[in-house]
Each structure stands twice: as structure tokens, then as C-alpha cells.
Copies of this chain bind each other. A is one copy, B any other.
């Protein structure tokens, strides 16, 4: 079937063989035709390309001999972030399943670099672009992404145009709190990772989840038991000391990330309060280099980075460009040793 290919066919050869325009052939071979090319035409073009042995570039080569095509991956800092590298891992694993490679660019959040990066990705004929953020927020998606299938990963498009894949922060916050309620706690504090007024989705939605779980169990949310924090261990340290100085101490703390929980551990150990005997703690993120190594190991909600990366590439490959709904990925609870029933207290 492919033996008459050695001279190398052009797009014009394919157009002549199929009876369509060269522009249509180009759209199909570069995977950019979308709904503009009928499925039957697309099949005929691809068939002719295979039969004629068309191979002007690497993308077309994929058709011929199974070598990998490219998916663009633009991150604001994702590959250098200590905790979101698994996004890349998940995205790449899914891409490999379809014989695709990731062409990865970190922009450090620089808009001009971003424009250049996207232009370069387009020149390398990527079939689509995953636009990934280091932390979950609402952001302005570059205009250039309108020209190509794209998915926003770990953030939401402020304009509501691009399809987004984000963690289910609300359900995670509720599950963390429910774990403490189920253990018998009633006086449950929360040390958050940012002020609610910041609008940071992780802070706002995890807090809503916390309130929802309390309400669902008929418990009263005490505003003084919510400390806003900043996501660093120092804030967890100070927050825990502040909570322990209260007349009515909480018996449990939901720390909205593991680094905050780490600081709370440091504070409680310093003042001789035992975890979980005296105070139970649940974290969030399930950082693989931190949560298992605290003493005791920290019960936490996992940020499903690998799954999010996998899902983003899957959405690209399935051609779901242009849908505006954000897809929520569940954050599984990982139990370790930081939660137990509250002890009987002297009044």
C-alpha cells in the first residue's frame, strides 16, 4: 500500500487524488479542521495521505509510521513547582496513550513570553494546547488560544470561554470537615490559606465546604474559629497557638493545606499538646513529600494533579473545544494518624 511513497507526495497530490482543495487537505492533516470538514471527507484525505506516503513534517509522519504528534503544554510555572509536576506527568501519560508528545513551555507568568510561546507551539503544529496554572485561580486566557483547541488546567477562564479542569475544592473542604465530625468532634476550627476577600477559589470553596459540613450535621459555625492564614507553615504555627490560647479550645483543626498543618504541628509540639490525642488535624493537598512524614502522619485530601492532567489531555483529544463548563475532579481523602475521637474534657 505504501510502496509508491518514496518520492514524497505533496498536499496538492492528495487534494487531486481526493478531489478537494489543498486548503481542506491542510486543515485535515494539521488536525485543525474541526467541524469545518465533514467526517467522510476527513477519512478520505487521511486515507489518501497514508496511501501516498505524505510526510512534509513530523505531524504528518505520525500518520504514516506511528511516530508521535505534539500537544502543547503552557504552564505559568508548573514544571518548576514542587507540587504540581504530577500535572505534567498525568498529561503526558495520557498523551502517550494516543502516541502524542507534550511540548512543554513554562512562561513564569510573563505575558509576552506567553504570546511567543503559543506562537511557537502553533508553528510546531500542535493539535491543541493545555494552559496550566500552578495554583487554582480565575485568570485571563491569552487571546491566541481562541485559534486552536485548548483546555485550561487548574484554573478558570475569567471570560468563561475555554473548557477548564479544576479540583473540587468545595467537596474536599466538606469531606475534610466531615472526617472530623464523624470522629466525634463538635468544636472544629479552620486555618485557611488566604483571606476570603482574596477570592482565591481554593480558600473560598474549601471554606464553603467546611461550613456546609458543619451545617449538615447541625453544628454551629463559630466565626472566631476561622483563621484566614496565608498558606505557609508560619501562618499555621501562629494560627494554632492563637486557637490554643482561646478559653474554649477547639478539639480539631481543618488546615486548608498541608504546609499550614505542618506549622500547626510545630506549634502544638512546642506547647506540649499531642496530635491526635488532644487535638485532631486534617490537611489538604496530600503533598507526597510532607503529609506521610509528619509525626503522626497527616490525614489529608489529595489534590488530584495527575488525574487533572490526564483529563485535560483527554478533553483535547476528544475535541471538546469551546465548551465553557468547568469540569470538577474529586479530591480523595487519604487517612493517616492525625484524627481520633475527642477526649473527655474537664469544663
Contact = CB atoms under 8 A, between A and B. Distances in A.
Interface string A257-283: 001001100100100000000000000
A302 interface: no
Nearest to A73: B104
Contacts of A103: 70, 101, 103-104
A168 B288 CA distance: 28
Interface residues of A, number: 48
A82 interface: yes
Interface in A56-73: 56-58, 61, 67-68, 70
A119 B67 CA distance: 8
Given A56-B57, A102-B105, A105-B102, A120 B68 contact: yes
Contact of A80 (B85, B96, B105): B85
Given A85-B80, A85-B85, A124 B70 contact: yes
Shortest Cβ-Cβ A-B pairs, 8 listed? A80-B89, A68-B120, A80-B85, A104-B104, A82-B82, A57-B57, A233-B293, A67-B123
Given A82-B85, A82-B287, A82-B289, 6 more contacts: A57-B58, A58-B125, A68-B116, A82-B83, A101-B105, A234-B293
Interface of A: 56-58, 61, 67-68, 70, 77, 79-83, 85-86, 88-89, 92, 96, 101-106, 113, 116-117, 119-121, 123-125, 232-234, 259, 262-263, 266, 269, 287-290, 293, 295
